[in-house]
Amino acid sequence: MRDVAPVPAAGSAAVAPAAAAEPTLRELAARHGLAFGTAVDLPTLAGDAEYRAWVAAQFDTVTAENAMKWDALEPTRGRYEWGPADALVAFAQANGQRVRGHTLVWHNQNPAWLTDVPPDELGAVLKTHVQTTVRRFKGRIWQWDVVNEVFEDDGSPRDTVWLRALGPGYLADAFRWAHEADPDALLFYNDYEVEEVNAKSDGVYDLVRDLLRQGVPIHGVGLQGHLTADHAPLTMRENLGRFDALGLRTAVTEADVRMALPADPVKLQAQANVYRTALRACLVTPGCLSFTVWGYTDRYSWVPGWFEGDGAATILDENFAPKPAHRALREDLSFGGVRRRG
């Protein structure tokens, strides 16, 4: 295992400076029975006190951006590097936060050695990975993204190493394996571009309904929420509602709203409206348990490195100054409260 520098419990200040005089996002969301979270980059958490202070003060759930993905946990077969993931869990415990585990089964960010595993051994290898990881954090992970992104945009199954080697039954197996390892964790299917009612979200709906009919221990559906400032997800309420009607929990798991750069006041206001639309859809859905932004400051956003010419996707700018999106979320969380299904 690599030596990993410990992550301080919080920043040098008790709360993030910009939020010292007003209720935090986590406090406002709690009025609605909603958890409000962020993805966290572990090197930045350890090295940037201001970033760390915001995470500690403003959010009551945290998700590792990369530290719990397979390539990070087991870069060499049979040799685990738990340090960064352990550090995030310890940080969360120190700050009264819950952890979303992300992600157990995916077609991306798998370790390089996996390509050398014979197809007839992949099922056993996957089971070992799922159960070793879940048992490591048993009792300390609130929600696991068990299976991630198995559909194409048209709702057809994505061609992955798992589907080719194991057939579609591996999906149910993954949830069963995770449940055996930690019966108390909430187990989610997670995907992108499924915020609205469309062919892809129809595929997800059919999958999870079928899993429920089989008695598979699936508890929720995560809608990632990687959105754009020029389009608000207008059927998101309806979409969340149909999963809710199945008795499943839901969550917005990776929200950000990118725009073509440079940002300007019109684009920033449009971005705020998209964030607000997504949050309101979650707030009116009784089983929507959490709303997580995929990073909260443009200083460390993944978007510019992935979408050429786009950026400014988060709720704070590069100097940790709140943007209109931050104010919009605060405003909606500041009013009233609803009774929620846990």
Cis omega (within 30 of 0) for bond into 228: no
In a domain, 190, yes or no: yes
Confidence tier at 327 by pLDDT (50, 70, 90): very high
Q: What is the mean pLDDT of residues 101-121?
A: 98
Confidence tier at 340 by pLDDT (50, 70, 90): low
In a domain, 244, yes or no: yes
In a domain, 324, yes or no: yes
Mean pLDDT score across all residues of the chain: 94
Please pick, among 65, 74, 195, 254, the residue that the annotation labels catalytic.
Answer: 254
Q: Which domain holds residue 25?
A: 17-334
What local confidence, expressed as pLDDT, does residue 341 receive?
Answer: 57
Contact criterion met (CB below 8 Å) for 337 and 32: yes
In a domain, 12, yes or no: no
Cα separation, 184 vs 135, in Å, equals 11
Question: Is residue 81 among the annotated active site residues?
Answer: no
Please pick, among 74, 149, 195, 196, the residue that the annotation labels catalytic.
Answer: 149
In a domain, 341, yes or no: no
Q: What is the pTM of this model?
A: 0.94
Question: Is residue 196 among the annotated active site residues?
Answer: no
The number of folded domains in the chain is 1
Contact criterion met (CB below 8 Å) for 67 and 43: no
In a domain, 7, yes or no: no
What local confidence, expressed as pLDDT, does residue 14 receive?
Answer: 37
pLDDT tens-digit readout, 128-174: 999 999 999 999 999 999 999 999 999 999 999 999 999 999 999 99
pLDDT tens-digit readout, 291-303: 999 999 999 999 9
Q: Cβ contacts of residue 51 below 8 Å, gap of 6+?
A: 11, 44, 45, 297, 299, 300, 320
pLDDT tens-digit readout, 221-270: 999 999 999 999 999 999 999 999 999 999 999 999 999 999 999 999 99
Q: What percent of the chain has pLDDT over 70?
A: 93
pLDDT tens-digit readout, 12-57: 333 444 445 799 999 999 999 999 999 999 999 999 999 999 999 9
Cβ-count burial of 169 within 10 angstroms (0-12 exposed, 13-18 middle, 19+ buried)? exposed
In a domain, 340, yes or no: no
pLDDT at 1 over 80: no
pLDDT tens-digit readout, 276-295: 999 999 999 999 999 999 99
Contact criterion met (CB below 8 Å) for 170 and 162: yes
Name the token pair of 203. Answer: 């595929």
CATH code of the domain containing 22: 3.20.20.80
In a domain, 5, yes or no: no
Contact criterion met (CB below 8 Å) for 238 and 281: no
Helix (H) or strand (E) holding 260, with range, is strand 249-260
pLDDT tens-digit readout, 191-233: 999 999 999 999 999 999 999 999 999 999 999 999 999 999 9
User: Higher pLDDT residue, 322 or 22?
Assistant: 322
